[in-house]
Amino acid sequence: MNTLSMKLIFLGPPGAGKGTISKMVTERLGIPQISTGDMFRAAVKEKTELGLKVQAILAAGGLVPDELTIAIVRERLSWPDVRQSYILDGFPRTIAQADALAGFSELDAAVDFEVKDDLILFRLTGRRVCKACGAIYHKVTKAPKVEGVCDICGGELYIRNDDKEETVKARLKAYHDETEPLIGYYQKRGLLLTIDGSPDAETVYNAFISEIGRFLKK
């Protein structure tokens, strides 16, 4: 498989494992993973013109508008480390963003990690995070030895706001309303690769490697 030119976006609902798989790809294949959060933080840290605008919006508690998000992505994709390959996680989220991306970068594939809503709810509402060291547990599939206590550092485990049931349901609704149409968008363009995201991360990663190799050779 030629990893020298692998420009990908990862699609899928919150909790589908996009971040986990993209980190595995980055570590094992050296392909940079870029999330919108990473891009915002990098732009702010570098004090670019766009970064200063983002900083002002976030400081005021606002949402970064489409046009600014698109400009940040365009700027980030001009950096030398991603000229040949990248994984975009969290962008595009809408058809308008996808149209904009097509204007300044040519994708090799859009990878959709399919996971049913009930499994997403199980995964996210059962997640527990250590306040001290950030270690992640699950009350069923990866329970700590002592309930509410981190095995690693003894820190307190808590439920992040994003993982509360009402929040997860709202995030899923937003995904279905705004982002899911991208599946059809990329399918029409012959760029869609669908992967079953329901097994464990290693199984999903191996399926992705196998399928993306065949997909890019077509």
Pick the catalytic residue: 7, 76, 123, 127?
Answer: 127
Of 160, 164, 173, 189, the active-site residue reads: 160
Q: Clarify whether 18 is annotated catalytic.
A: yes
CA distance 90 to 9: 8
Catalytic, 28? Answer no
Selection from 55, 168, 52, 187 nearest residue 109 by Cα:
187
Indicate if 93 belongs to the active site.
Answer: yes
Query: Is residue 92 reached through a cis peptide bond, with omega within 30 degrees of 0 on the bond before it?
Result: yes
160 catalytic, yes or no?
yes
Among 18, 76, 123, 128, the one annotated catalytic? 18
- Active-site hit among 41, 53, 93, 139: 93
- Identify whether the C-beta of residue 157 lies closer than 8 Å to the C-beta of residue 148: yes
Residue type, 196: D
The CA distance from 163 to 104, in Å, is 34
At a CB cut-off of 8 Å and minimum separation 6, what does 156 contact? 130, 131, 132, 148, 149, 150
Query: Which entry of 41, 74, 169, 171 is annotated as an active-site residue?
Result: 171
Look up 41 and say whether it is catalytic.
no
Positions marked catalytic: 18, 93, 127, 160, 171
